[in-house]
Amino acid sequence: MKDQTNEEPLDPMPGELPVTAGRPGSASAQHVEKHGAAPVDPDALFSQVLDSANLNLAWKQVKANKGAPGMDGMTIDDFPAFAREHWERIRSQLREGTYHPAPVRRVFIPKPDGSQRPLGVPTVLDRVIQQAIAQVLTPLYDGEFSQHSYGFRPGRSAHQAVRHVESGWKQKTRYAVDCDLKAFFDTVNHDKLLTQLRGKIGGGKLLRLIGRYLRAGVELPDGSREDTPLGVPQGGPLSPLLANIVLDPLDKELERRGHHFARYADDFVILVKSAKAAERVMGSVMNDVEKEMDLTVNRTKSRSGKLTETTFLGFQFNGQGQVKWSAKALERFKQRVREPTRSGDRQPTGCPEGEWSESNHQTQPGAECPVCDQRTAALCFGLDELLRNQPHVCHGAVT
């Protein structure tokens, strides 16, 4: 990495760690994705995280995301100089198990219903480390995740989840159990999550480091700090993988029962063949989620009923089982794609801070946004006329 492009290696010193098995792109990583993970040596796994090639790949990904500064105020452009001066000390701390992540910076993003979604913006340094961890752990876990899980996974998307629900109509499963997990990302039990991780990656420094990220706390807009005894803060590179790990037992239980279902992050729909079955399954699932998984079901938003009366990820289904946009989602979509292109460093309304920049999220007419999937969804669900003649600036997910 050269000075003018801010692509200096994180480890320019001799004596790099060996490129060990399981690193993204390696033959063994591909084997793990296909066949599932064998028991791993925790120390070897941590060495993979600190492998120079893995760290440089993590830095490139964080840099490409062009996120906002964390609580220390350090920008993406500031990081290479910081890393040249301090990386050897930080890596020594990581190796010795003495590194402590910084609290995340709390930001609030408006939701369509008028409430606010709390996000946590880690420092650039912690985003690089989290990304390095995610790159090593994803091949260990993703190949064993359910085929009905669509959120935050390579090669999967929200509109694939919607199409999977649509396919249930042809199988005569036309009643839906729509479960909403209340404040899921804020209520994950750390001890249970770490126990799940220990079963796959063992104990040791990597597990302790992940635990420290979970408990790092948050810095609020007024400068005060709060502990995080529960939850997986939304906003860091590692959080999506951890969320899928937490919910994987739910997927496996639904598969064991033979249900047709789709899950995207904490939003999931189960399809059954009758109203009675929907009521029974809803009661059973709520009991499992709350008693076995220590999560809370939002009973106000959760419901069972006809598939044609269900909204999933901003979409509904007509009397022939075909996908259509919900009225609210369609109106939001139209407003977003018709807004004029923004310039400078202004943050588009509704786009999570740290996930938008004009240079890599603005697309030309007819092109696909790599982040919010709006154009893919529009083309897939018959709204391409809204997009054909105008550019698009990412405003976050349509749902």
Q: Specify the 3-state DSSP secondary structure of 63.
A: helix
Residue 377 has pLDDT above 70, yes or no: no
DSSP three-state, residue 59: helix
Beta bridge partners of 325: 315
Q: Helix, strand or coil for residue 371?
A: coil
Tally Cβ neighbours within 10 Å of residue 298: 12
- Nearby residues of 317 by Cβ (< 8 Å), 6 or more positions away: 165, 166, 169, 307, 308, 310, 323, 324
What's the pLDDT score for residue 389? Answer: 43
The pLDDT value given to residue 77: 96
Residue 159 has what pLDDT?
A: 86
pLDDT category at 330 given cuts 50, 70, 90 is confident
List pLDDT tens digits, range 212-248.
999 999 999 999 999 999 999 888 999 999 999 999 9
In this structure, what token pair is assigned to residue 163? 């199409």
- Six-digit token string for 308: 């044609």
Of 339 and 192, the one with more pLDDT: 192
Q: How confident is the model at residue 333 (pLDDT cuts 50, 70, 90)?
A: confident
Contacts of 81 (CB under 8 A, 6+ apart): none
Positions of E strands within the chain = 104-110, 116-121, 175-180, 218-219, 225-226, 260-264, 267-272, 303-306, 315-317, 323-325, 362-363, 392-393
Q: What is the DSSP letter of 162?
A: H
| Arithmetic mean of pLDDT, 347-369 | 39
What pTM did the predictor assign?
0.77
- 255-300 confidence digits (pLDDT tens): 999 999 999 999 999 999 999 999 999 999 999 899 888 889 988 8
pLDDT of 70 over the 90 cut: yes
What pLDDT digit, counting tens, does each position of 128-165 carry? 999 999 999 999 999 999 999 999 999 999 989 999 99
In the prediction, which pLDDT does 329 show? 76
Q: What does the angle CA 125 – CA 128 – CA 134 come to, to the nearest 5 degrees?
A: 140
Q: How many residues does the chain have?
A: 399
Does residue 323 surpass a pLDDT of 80?
A: yes
Give residue 325's identity as a one-letter amino acid code: W
Residue 272 identity (one-letter amino acid): V
